[in-house]
Structure 1
Amino acid sequence: MKLVFLFCIVSTMVGLGESFHKFDERDFENDAEKQSVDTRNGTFRPKNIHPELKKYLLNQKYDNHIWNFQKGRPPPEEKNNNTISKRNFAEDFPFLWPNGVIPYVVDYASFDSSDASRLSNLINWAVEIIHNSSCVTWKLRENEQEYVRIFNGEDCSSIIGKVSGSTSGQKLSLNSANCLFLETVIHEMLHAMGGEHEQTRGDRNRHLKFNWENIEENAVHNNILRPTKNDAPYDLSSIMQYGLKDFSKNNKKTMELINPDLEYLLTEGGKTLTIYDIEEINDAYQCTASCTNVCKNGGVVKKSNSVCSCSCPPGLKGPDCSQLDTSQGCGGFLNLSEGQFSALSQINYVTGLTCTWLVKGTPGTRIKAKVLTMGLPYSSQFDCYHWIEFKDNLIGQSGKEKCGDVGGAEFVKSLYGDPSMMMIRFNSAKHSDKTPGLGFYVTVEAYRSADSTNVCTLDNDLYTCAFKQDRTDSQFQWAISSKFSASTNNNQALILFPLEYGSFFYGWKSMLTTSARFEEGMVVARLVTWSPSGHLVHFSDQCNNREFSLVGLHIYEGDGLAKTNALMLTKENATKAWVDQEVTIPSVNNLKLTIEGTIGRQKVVLDDIAIKPRGCGESVPCVDFNPCKNGAQCVPSGSLATCSCNSCRFGGMYCEIDLAFSCTFENSNCFLDDVRYDEFNWRVQQGITSSYNTGPNSAYQGSYYAYIEASAPRVSGDRAILRSNQIFQDQVYCFKMKYHMYSGYFNHMGSLRIMTKTGTRRPVTQWEVSGNQGLFWRSMQISLKLDSKTKILVEGVVGNGWAGDIAIDNVRLTGCAC
């Protein structure tokens, strides 16, 4: 285990272009904020987006939640507050309303008649939304002593949770000039229910950072970090999340997102409760404690009117969110195993479609999507008329929308939520009066999220690590960050952060625990580190023991899971560089290990955490040394290691002999060369070809592909031939290739052939295709019997016109039959 201690120290909108007239203008603004258009001249954002004009966002600066201490910087006693809240709801019973019933009155006399009527509608709407989403009921007061009094105050504010002993009604202020929006009313009602701001969550540093120097002094308390359990993912689209410039004293950003591409989640207007808000309300008030139903695909359980049901992410429906909300004839479920590819498309589509695909990989994988080809219409202001939506953050949130003339865009599912699941949607319904484009073709892949070993190198996440973040008893989470140099060549390490200015909660604990039990006689632990040169870290003796960060390794052993300390790292272990810490743990039944961090003023950084069989100092096959090459599986055999390799591609004792060949055209490593006896050569190309209305927009994978240019001086029948340059074993191989043969003109397209030639014999055609094959890349594969005298030929033949470019990519040959 590597460690180092660091020094303590809604509204009027600007129009969105042609034909944007059938929907609420704010709806178009929301679409435009998450759209981008890919063209041959680059990628463009809509020119007419103006989130800064949304009145709801402008008026967020009037929001204020009320604490029982002076506004501004938190008082000293705040430092030792160990109260735990569950995400943005206080867990302590005194702050929640008994049985989820909240009596309220409205002081309509404090509003003029028109505002009073508007407020009445907004409150009824908000009450209905909350009631239909949970077991919480807002009811008009009868004779209850404790209740909420809604009135026309100076701001938009509410006390957090229920105030005990108040007989005149706890205040909920809704200023008539600035607060009469549905989003604002729900926001303040959630405060009264016990909900806090999303940006006060304990895990906010993974998603945003604060520019404290830009925040008004009297508004700092709205952003105080709170001790939260973070059972649900951080929700940037939550109705409790502030905007990027809220309470700015200089019109500069008060906070910035770690991923700026997600800013549209904060600026979306027309907000109501998200499914994650719904989940937290139900959990805080224990609405679903007796529910037994299970919601699938990211849906959440809720209980309303004594009925348990599911709140589904947009795009899903059904009692358990297992059905797609999609137009007939399009969409579907795509289930992928690790390393598997698939594709989805709409070619020559019609208007009026809302298509939904749900891509799901096996556990431990991550989903990647790539737009290979796209022809979707957009306005002169670069607003999409028809688009593809990629939900690459949380499935319950809106996704990024893409349209344009060319492919190439990639989307990788974030590590938040379920990284092995991504929803992709297509919309040609909102602007059904617009002429459809050519369509799109998207490939999807499920790939391994991180090394599937017990060594936590933290390149990506804790997803496949032997230790997992405990979310039940931890008061905060360890962070994974590249802010400090990792111990080896990796980019990230685990960091135990002291909290931000004004929010030191000393003594908080966070646990990393083993996710599996180990059998007797099987496991001991070795926590390994490496010390890099030049990693200078400072330590201050002025910090007392109470405020010093600690890390301990604890063993829970036996059926009773008694806790013993195996290793404790204190200020005496503080160093200026990475150090190795090893401990041998005797194996027992039901062994469980926990790394427990206690927060103080110092940062503690861990890396390369490993659990290995045998004792410290003993060499472990396949862990301390691995002779296997090319991704082969290492199998321990006593003190030795044997290798199990893919016989179709690799051979030899250590799988070091490559039996497969490839030609991706990304570099000069290709098993195909141009011959000298043809009429012209294949070209390697990036992007579109030089001829209009023929050829691909981009490579199938990577950046480059090979193609034949059919323009002059080429004439019909001219050939370009690639020939293999390797000596093959006497066996059957599988030849695979992607090819593209599109022409917008009849009879311009020629032919593509795969041939074999043995010695001086005439070539034999093994596979051939001719004519226009459509706008998208296609796949082919064929088994070929080869030997040391046989060559493979790839021949492109020019057709009857200049618009007959033929392209190939991702050519592969493996040492087994197809």
Structure 2
Amino acid sequence: MYGSNVGALNVYVQTGAAIPSTPTWKRTGTQGTHWLMGQFSVNVKTPFNVVIEGVRGNGYRGDIAIDDVNITNGSCSAGTTVGPSSKPAADKCNFEASNLCGFSQDHSDKFDWSRTTGSTSSRGTGPSSDHTYGTRLGHYMYIETSSPRRPNDVARLNSFILTGPTSPTCLTFWYHMYGNSIGTLNVYVTRNGAKGSPIWQMSGNQGNSWNVAEVSIKTVSGSTPYQIVFEGIVGRTYLGDIAIDDFSVTAGSCSASVNCNFDSGLCSWRNDKTDKFDWTLNKGTTGSGGTGPTTDHTSGHGEYVFIEASSPRINGDNAQLISANIPASNTTCFHFYYHMYGTAVGTLRVWYKESGAYPVPIWEQAGSKGNAWQKGQITIPTSKRDFQIIVEGVRGSSWSGDIGLDDVSIDNATSCPMIPNTAKPTVTMSPPPSVITTTTWRQPPPTSALPTPMIGQFHFCTIL
């Protein structure tokens, strides 16, 4: 499912003469340039058909493909484990099982997490479907912030007991934080009853979408037991439901990387869900003459991302590309290449957002800069907390205003002058506070792998 106009891929389980009105599994929009894998359990006692439906999007760049379809007896595997655990084969959990894979409610908090399907009980907050299936049939965990809940009430959900880790280990989960009064989601590692400081934290409205988080778990010298604790804190009003889904703890370092040449997808970057349109992967020229790059910057025959200024875009529409979470550092330098060519080029702006704070503009260029890739560079402000980078493209006065971006990277260079030296921002207002990324930055080379809890080939598992 790759392209700027991808529609939907739906999978139905048909037990009667008619296809159900609601799919069992669903994905929409571009999912990157590589094959992805999906699975779900089929729990029926009568003969059934599996129906796979592709839905065209709003343009020709929307091809959808499937391969290696397999149906096997038994429920779908929970996945591999990470070292010895009190719950073998349960180091992944999509909350489809009613026993929550061994997760348990904390008894020292104010209220409990709830397991549900479909929407939560309040409009304007919470998911409309789970993340695993992408439909109203899948389950997830959430905190219900309606009455009798009050601001700052706390609910904690404890994982099953794990041990170690004595080698690099990555915690992955999906979260949904949508509403005008979202509080805070904290994640802790507890050992011997002590939880210390959060290893991950997010506050405020993150948009009406599921987002992925990756967090490296600190290694220890021995196989000591520990638990992952999800703590949801109620915001100001009932519009503050927070949800989680598709938990996993896997061996190996988290794979996200800010450094990316876009030849194999967006790496750990993602498009914001609350802006006007998206950055699009492209190879060669854009769809309009007299504007945009003709090749990428990396090799001359690879890919880059760009904003397409043609209709239906209008003056002032913005597209925001959001980085992974980046650990705090005293000396951090952001490097990138940009292409701004055309008679009506708008603005390219870079924002810095510290965890828990509003974004701040740190770099800006506007108008045509010639038909060539230009180098951009800016020092990231000193921070004691994790932060993210937001690259925003703003459409100009007409279609002749495509803007390209390529070869983004970050390092700890001690010398990092502003390039060009005229790139001082002209605005001070922050974009919507919902533009926050979901993963944690690590140093490995860029990867196009998109985090997904559905591991193994695309197959349907039956419970007989």
* TM-score range for the pair, normalised by the shorter chain length: 0.3 to 0.5
**Which structure has the greater CA radius of gyration?**
1
TM-score by length of 2: 0.39
Larger RCO of the pair (alpha carbons < 8 Å, separation 6+)? 2
Higher helix share: 1
